[in-house]
């Protein structure tokens, strides 16, 4: 992967656009049009950066992430920056790629093409053991509230059924 990224950074935008057109033609046949422009940051060769990865700022919410993940018509977005759990890491790119690939396949087969749009998401507390559990929510927004006594007696599968722990959950667990 690294050598391919280096190769692409060293070549001209015209060569990159020709390669993109080649891929689009393989996917869509003669209906694929040649790209009219490209904007590509060459982070790996920039001496001030020498590479980059994403980092969500303080205050970023599940809704913010959903906006970044949301497809625009038939254009789907993926990569480690769109990963709910592992943004900034290689396995986040893999996880996000699997999610996007599944969404694209579902769209091609007519299952749905808008599952990842923010409008289709219901934000709220998705932990059933939380005092403010929202049964209608399908995206956890970090608002869950837990009773510290319940946390000490509840099973791990009940309170931590997902890979992401709510910060409030952890603080309540350790402070009480």
Bridge-partner residues for 133, per DSSP?
A: 125
How much is the mean pLDDT over the chain?
76
pLDDT at 156: 45
Q: Is residue 32 part of a domain?
A: yes
Percent of the chain with pLDDT over 70: 77
CATH number, domain of 94, equals 1.10.10
15-24, 38-47, 61-70, 146-155 — most confident range: 15-24
CA distance 156 to 171: 16
Question: Residue 17: what pLDDT?
Answer: 93
**Has residue 11 been placed in a domain?**
yes
Overall pTM > 0.85: no
Same domain, 4 and 30: yes
The answer to whether residue 163 is domain-embedded is: yes
Task: Return the number of other C-beta atoms located less than 10 Å from residue 4's C-beta.
Answer: 8
148 & 161 share domain: yes
Q: Are residues 102 and 127 in the same domain?
A: no
Per the domain annotation, does 57 fall within a domain? Answer: no
Is residue 113 domain-shared with residue 127, that is, in the same domain? no
Q: Based on the structure, what is the number of domains in the chain?
A: 3
Residues of the domain holding 148: 122-175
Total length of the chain: 176
Least confident of 46-50, 68-72, 106-110, 139-143: 139-143
**Assigned domain for 97 exists:** yes
Instruction: Please indicate, yes or no, if residue 12 is contained in any of the structural domains.
Output: yes
More confident site: 161 or 48: 48
Is the same domain home to 139 and 170?
yes
Whether residue 111 is contained in a domain is answered as yes
On whether residue 41 sits in a domain, the answer given is: yes
């Amino acid at each position: 992967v690294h050598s391919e990224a280096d190769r692409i950074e060293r070549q001209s935008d015209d060569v990159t656009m020709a390669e993109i057109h080649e891929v689009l033609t393989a996917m869509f046949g003669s209906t694929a049009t040649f790209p009219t422009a490209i904007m590509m940051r060459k982070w790996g060769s920039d001496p001030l950066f020498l590479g980059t990865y994403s980092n969500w700022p303080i205050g970023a919410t599940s809704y913010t992430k959903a906006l970044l993940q949301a497809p625009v018509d038939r254009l789907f977005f993926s990569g480690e920056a769109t990963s709910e759990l592992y943004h900034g890491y290689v396995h986040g790119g893999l996880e996000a790629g699997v999610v996007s690939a599944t969404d694209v396949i579902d769209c091609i087969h007519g299952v749905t093409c808008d599952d990842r749009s923010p409008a289709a998401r219901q934000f709220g507390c998705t932990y059933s053991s939380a005092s403010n559990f929202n049964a209608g929510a399908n995206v956890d927004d970090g608002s869950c509230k837990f009773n510290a006594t319940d946390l000490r007696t509840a099973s791990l599968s009940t309170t931590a059924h997902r890979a992401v722990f709510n910060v409030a959950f952890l603080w309540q667990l350790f402070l009480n």
